[in-house]
């Protein structure tokens, strides 16, 4: 599907900004897309990801990819430190009612995990806005 291809391309580009080399044909990226798509489609009762949730899907796919690579031990210390360094440029991330603050005393891994959490979180009110009601 064209939408899936665009989400994978955008997620790969976003991960590239964080210093990771990912191609849209990466099998793990495809798995993360299916996982994110299932979550969003189930939460909104839609067959496809609504266009208004495109960037939420991109961030969720990127966050899932980072989480799986981190949990499987597929990231080197240098990769985590580089991503954490990119995250330390930002002292606070705010999305609707959710705020993630990076503290100076956090380790690189703690900052990396906080980054993953902020990417994978989609505000429930944002999902509800796109929910299709059934009777």
Say if 53 falls within a structural domain.
yes
User: How far is CA 25 from its chain centroid?
Assistant: 17
Number of domains forming the structure of the chain:
1
Q: Closest Cα partner for 128 from 78, 53, 63?
A: 53
User: Does the CA dihedral 55-60-61-62 come out positive or negative?
Assistant: positive
| Burial of 92 from C-beta contacts in 10 A (0-12 / 13-18 / 19+) | exposed
CA-only gyration radius of the chain, Å: 15
**Mean pLDDT of the residues in the chain:** 85
Collect all residues with Cβ–Cβ distance below 8 Å to 54 and sequence separation of at least 6.
3, 6, 7, 10
* Domain-located, residue 134: no
Confidence of residue 3 (pLDDT cuts 50, 70, 90): confident
* Model pTM score: 0.81
Q: What is the DSSP letter of 74?
A: -
CB atoms within 10 A of CB 72: 9
Range of the domain at 104: 2-129
Domain assignment of residue 135, yes or no: no
Q: Determine the average pLDDT of the residues in 37-57.
A: 93
Confidence of residue 123 (pLDDT cuts 50, 70, 90): confident
Residue 93 belongs to some domain of the structure:
yes
Chain segment 63-103, per-residue pLDDT in tens = 999 999 988 888 877 777 777 676 556 667 777 777 777 66
Give percent of the chain above pLDDT 90: 40
């Amino acid at each position: 599907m064209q939408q899936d291809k665009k989400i994978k391309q955008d997620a790969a580009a976003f991960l590239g900004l964080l210093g990771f080399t990912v191609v849209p044909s990466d099998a793990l990226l495809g798995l993360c897309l299916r996982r994110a798509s299932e979550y969003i489609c189930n939460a909104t009762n839609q067959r496809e990801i609504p266009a208004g949730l495109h960037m939420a899907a991109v961030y969720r796919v990127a966050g899932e990819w980072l989480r799986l690579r981190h949990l499987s031990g597929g990231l080197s210390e240098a990769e985590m430190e580089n991503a954490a360094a990119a995250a330390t440029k930002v002292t606070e991330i705010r999305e609707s009612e959710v705020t993630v603050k990076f503290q100076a005393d956090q380790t690189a891994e703690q900052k990396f995990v906080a980054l993953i959490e902020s990417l994978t979180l989609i505000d429930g009110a944002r999902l509800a806005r796109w929910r299709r009601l059934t009777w």
